[in-house]
């Protein structure tokens, strides 16, 4: 009898540890995504020629825009760098916590979010600390053009990965009962994927790319809060009990 009680206490502690890991990972997702919303707002206030990816930008105008909007770009980039790091941490923990057999699709999605956030660390660093600085250097047109092209391609690649990961995560959420949030998330993921692909065929949907990242970040903030609440309530359940 004492052995069974001891095993039950160990199992309960293990459940509490898992729930704690899930909780803090979900908090990281919500906080990181909220930070990306703020970053998107600063980029939205910045001149679009500098802050958004365009397949055939006018480099002289983009350089002037980067110099003019330097303060906004730096604010958005600074918040973005920190938020991206937090997102990577949360996504990696949630990916590790999912099992390949039961949550394979969601696990793949969190891996995609981690990769996307890693790409956006470079994007936000370039927006806040590279493009405005290069634009301020006299006769730096060629250097600025090279950095701007790299910024644009990485921005689109990060958004494309973000959209694909959204579809995987929110499709799984929809299957698990969050039908409204899951459906909206899947549609937002499709939008992000389509507008990103448009860049590579020369179609300028820069505003739609920025909007898709902002909308997706709102949805991930909501999902992170939902997952944190679920994890917080989990340890309170007795072993073998089910939630209502």
What are the tens digits of pLDDT across the range 15-61? 555 668 889 999 999 999 999 999 999 999 999 999 999 999 899 99
pLDDT of residue 11: 43
Query: Which contacts of 180-184 are long-range, i.e. CB under 8 A and separated by 24 or more positions?
Result: 181/219, 181/222, 181/223, 181/226, 184/219
pLDDT the model gives residue 178: 83
Distance CA 103, CA 83 (A): 26
- The confidence band for 102, taking pLDDT boundaries of 50, 70 and 90, is low
Q: In the chain, where are the structural domains located? A: 16-49+57-233
Structure confidence at residue 169 (pLDDT): 95
What does the alpha-carbon distance between residue 58 and residue 90 come to, in Å, rounded to a whole number?
A: 38
Question: pLDDT category, 9, cuts 50, 70, 90?
Answer: very low
* Residue 101 and residue 155 in contact, taking contact as beta carbons nearer than 8 Å: no
**Residues 112-135: tens digit of each pLDDT:** 999 999 999 999 999 999 999 999
| pLDDT value of residue 243 | 36
* CA–CA distance, 130 with 150 (Å, rounded to integer): 11
Closest CA to 217 of 76, 65, 93, 47: 76
What radius of gyration do the chain's Cα atoms show? Answer: 21
Please write the tens of the pLDDT for every residue from 157-190. 999 999 999 999 999 888 888 889 999 999 999 9
Q: What percent of the chain has pLDDT over 90?
A: 76
Q: What's the pTM?
A: 0.87
The pLDDT mean for the chain works out to 88
Please give the Cα distance from 24 to 94 (Å, whole number).
Answer: 10
pLDDT (average), residues 90-108: 83
| Average pLDDT value for residue range 214-238 | 83
């Amino acid at each position: 009898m004492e052995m069974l009680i001891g095993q039950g206490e160990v199992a309960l502690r293990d459940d509490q540890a898992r729930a704690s890991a899930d909780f803090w990972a979900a908090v990281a997702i919500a906080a990181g995504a909220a930070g990306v919303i703020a970053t998107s707002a600063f980029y939205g206030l910045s001149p679009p020629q500098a802050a958004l990816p365009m397949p055939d930008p006018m480099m002289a105008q983009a350089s002037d825009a980067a110099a003019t909007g330097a303060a906004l770009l730096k604010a958005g980039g600074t918040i973005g760098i920190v938020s991206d790091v937090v997102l990577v941490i949360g996504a990696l923990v949630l990916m590790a916590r999912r099992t390949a057999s039961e949550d394979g699709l969601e696990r793949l999605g969190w891996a995609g979010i981690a990769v996307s956030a890693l790409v956006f660390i470079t994007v936000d660093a370039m927006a806040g600390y590279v493009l405005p600085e290069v634009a301020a250097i006299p006769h730096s047109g060629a250097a600025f053009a090279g950095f701007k092209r790299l910024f644009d391609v990485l921005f689109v690649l990060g958004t494309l990965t973000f959209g694909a990961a959204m579809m995987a995560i929110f499709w799984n959420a929809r299957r698990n009962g969050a039908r409204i949030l899951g459906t909206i998330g899947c549609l937002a993921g499709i939008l992000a994927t389509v507008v990103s692909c448009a860049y590579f065929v020369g179609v300028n949907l820069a505003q739609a790319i920025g909007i898709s990242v902002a909308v997706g970040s709102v949805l991930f903030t909501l999902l992170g809060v939902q997952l944190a609440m679920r994890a917080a309530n989990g340890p309170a359940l007795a072993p073998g009990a089910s939630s209502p």
